[in-house]
Chain A
Amino acid sequence: MDLTKEHARKVYHAMVRARLLEAKFSSLYKAGKIVGGVYLGRGQEAVSASIGARLEQGKDIFAPLIRDQAGRTAFGEEILDATRTYLGSVKGPMKARDGNIHRGRPKEGVVAMISHLGSSLSVLGGMLKARQLQGKLDGCVGATCIGDGATSTGAFHEGLNYVAVEKLPVVVVVADNQFAYSTPNSKQYACDDLIDRAKGYGVAGHSVDGTDTLACATVIGQAIDSARNGAGPQMVVAKLLRLSGHGEHDDGSYIPEEIRTSHYGRDCMDVGKQQLLERGWLTEEELADWEESAKQEVQLAVTTAQKEDEPDPYKEDWCALARGSYRNW
């Protein structure tokens, strides 16, 4: 694909909105207004938004992981969905039964992740396989994002092998952010580069600098287009650095200074801004407008969610089964 101005702006706009939303979540967490945890996509927005922006809401499937606020936003998830879930509003998609990044709307193409990494890949494959059986697969794509750590799980291996065997239109984007919680990737994998694995799985492989916003938009966009056009599963490995701790409870102080100041320590927000300004695809004034309206959108979402009801344990039906009449089993 040739990267268009419109697509690049779509990617970057989602990045701006996600970064500001997550900054708010971080503040709310530190103020004790969010319990459990806050997991940021800081530094991974270009990768994530490049996925969501190339998928079509209502047609494609997205299985985000914990650092995919930007991808969710680009795919069309309402900022209120995230805010309600983090703040525990009963009006959120999980009705406060699950929190933070575990949200999803499976019937609308957003898989609700569980914490067991790699598990969403086969679920995504099953959704696409079902559409194939129903004769509704044509032109659909499913994409998921995953970290370097998750590539070590059995679920990831089984899932990727499965979608490869079935030649399903899946794009797996690995954000190789160099640390899985505190574990450096030297303790995570032994191959030179995770992209080496693509050949072993029999899927197409693409490498990209995850800090280079327009390169991400191009390479990930191409991978999604290829899958959509029948080229089978695609694996993208984006090299970057997580610009935060694992969650906001973690200061990430184990990340060495030389890595922070390396090429991959740069912020894709700065890179993307520079790239768009240089091409004349965005002006400083437009960016200021985007930021201002995003801040207002975030503030409105927070005040809305904070005014909404918390769950009432006395009204909860305490039934895990869809067939509620069996609740007293």
Chain B
Amino acid sequence: MSVTYIDAIRDAQYKALETDETVFIYGQDIGGFGGAFKATKGLQEKWPDRVLDSPISEDAMVGMAIGAAIEGMRPIIEMQFADFSSVGFNQIVNNAATHFYRTGVPIPITIRMPSGGTPGSGPFHSQSIEAIYSHYPGCIVLTPATVSDAYHMLLEGIAMDDPVIYCEHKFLYRWLKSDNYDGDGIRLPIGKARITRPGKHATVVTYSAMVHEAVRAAEMLQAEGWEIEVVDLRSVKPLDTDTVIASVARTGRLLAVGEAFPWGGVTAEIVARVVKEGFHLLDAPPMRLNAKDTPIPYHPKLWAAHRPTPESISHALKQLLAY
């Protein structure tokens, strides 16, 4: 018996609906159809009044959730793809994220964002936009990389009183499996990063699907005698600077890896924080590796070269280690 990353998302929503009657789910094709990725499969059957189909109106979907939250509900919004949240961007960053600061009334909404690339998905079904929502004050941005985190962080996010952007990686949906939702048995709170793989020669700080690519790169370099530490941020806002700095203190070298576009973003934030707070710990200039600065290409060969890969990560690490 094993569970997948998408099972975790579906089962966490099941549990939330079961235990908290203020929770409801709202999104496109999520009812009888069960969602584009089947993350809500069977839920409407059990809770017909609390798993609701929406029109193709991302702005109104988020606005509706804000209103429902004001009235004491805890809505979960399913964006069909993270890319389409741009249509609801205004409601997220200007309405939901400012609401508590302006009025004192919290907006406990969770927006599920099927994120990241898969082969053949092209420019508008592949984006990683966690940095954009992290930039604005007032949002929490979660980026789970494991089945266990996908389950527990979604439940924790739903229970939080602030708007939560939950970035679930589509590439992990069915590929990533686990025996159960216990993971390694250590439950970390939101805001704590995890040392996925300990090492001593260099630190890779990353999150979401790139954790697995970084671990593969570390395995490739292990054959050459290098011990690479991989830090999984788990959430990019809050960003656990302490764990990152502690890792860099051990290794002296930093590579920040992200699947998002290269201008600014999470990897730039990591480097900026490490340089400011841990400059004296660095034995080499910190490096960043991101996707390329083009729209995400359709063809699987172009796509695979657009995002960081175990090969490109290990190549970057070799440069870092050679300094």
Contact = CB atoms under 8 A, between A and B. Distances in A.
A324 to B, nearest CB: 10
B161 A322 contact: yes
B131 interface: no
A189 B66 CA distance: 29
Contacts of B68: 126-127, 129-130, 133
B183 to A, nearest CB: 23
Nearest to B138: A320
Given A97-B101, A119-B95, A323-B162, 14 more contacts: A112-B102, A122-B60, A123-B64, A130-B68, A133-B49, A133-B68, A133-B73, A155-B63, A158-B59, A161-B55, A162-B63, A165-B55, A319-B101, A326-B140
B105 interface: yes
B169 interface: no
A106 interface: yes
Contact of B67 (A122, A319, A320): A122
Given A133-B73, A329-B238, A123 B102 contact: no
Contacts of B162: 321-323
A74 to B, nearest CB: 22
A162 B55 contact: yes
B91 A130 contact: no
A319 B161 CA distance: 14
Interface in B50-72: 50, 54-55, 57-72
Given A126-B66, A321-B138, A134 B72 contact: yes
B166 interface: no
A125 B63 contact: yes
A169 to B, nearest CB: 13
Contacts of B87: 154
B296 to A, nearest CB: 24
Interface in A104-137: 104-107, 111-112, 114-116, 119-131, 133-134
A291 interface: no
Interface string A299-329: 0000000000000000000011111001001
Contacts of B100: 320-322
A106 B91 CA distance: 16
A111 B105 CA distance: 11
A120 B91 CA distance: 9
B237 interface: yes
Nearest to A155: B59
A114 B137 CA distance: 16
A114 B94 contact: yes
Nearest to B134: A329
A196 to B, nearest CB: 21
A107 B67 CA distance: 10
B191 interface: yes
Contacts of B97: 320
A114 B98 contact: yes
A154 B59 contact: yes
Contact-size category for A: 35 or more
A93 interface: yes
Which of A94, A130, A165 has its CB near the most chain B CB atoms (within 10 A)? A130
A130 B103 contact: no
A159 interface: yes
Interface residues of B, number: 49
A23 to B, nearest CB: 27
B158 to A, nearest CB: 14
A125 B99 contact: no
A48 B241 CA distance: 51
A116 B90 contact: yes
26 contacts: A97-B102, A106-B70, A106-B99, A114-B95, A121-B60, A122-B60, A122-B63, A123-B63, A123-B64, A123-B70, A125-B63, A125-B67, A126-B70, A127-B68, A133-B68, A134-B72, A154-B87, A158-B55, A158-B58, A158-B63, A159-B60, A161-B55, A162-B54, A162-B63, A320-B138, A329-B239
B102 A116 contact: no
Contacts of B104: 95
A94 B102 contact: yes
Contact of B106 (A102, A126, A134, A322): A322
A94 to B, nearest CB: 6
A158 B237 CA distance: 30
A96 to B, nearest CB: 11
Given A122-B67, A130-B71, A326 B103 contact: no
A162 B66 CA distance: 14
B160 A123 contact: no
Interface string B242-258: 00000000000000000
B261 interface: no
Given A162-B60, A320-B138, A116 B94 contact: yes
B66 to A, nearest CB: 5
A74 B11 CA distance: 48
A320 B64 contact: no
Contacts of B105: 106-107
Q: Which of B63, B73, B101 has most chain A Cβ within 10 Å?
A: B63
A116 B71 CA distance: 22
A297 interface: no
A161 B101 CA distance: 29
A114 B60 CA distance: 14
Nearest to B108: A322
Contacts of A130: 67-73
**Which of B68, B97, B100 is most buried by chain A, counting CB atoms within 10 A of its CB?**
B68
B151 interface: no
B319 to A, nearest CB: 31
Instruction: Count chain A CB atoms within 10 A of each CB in B24, B103, B108, B239 and give the residue with the most.
Output: B103
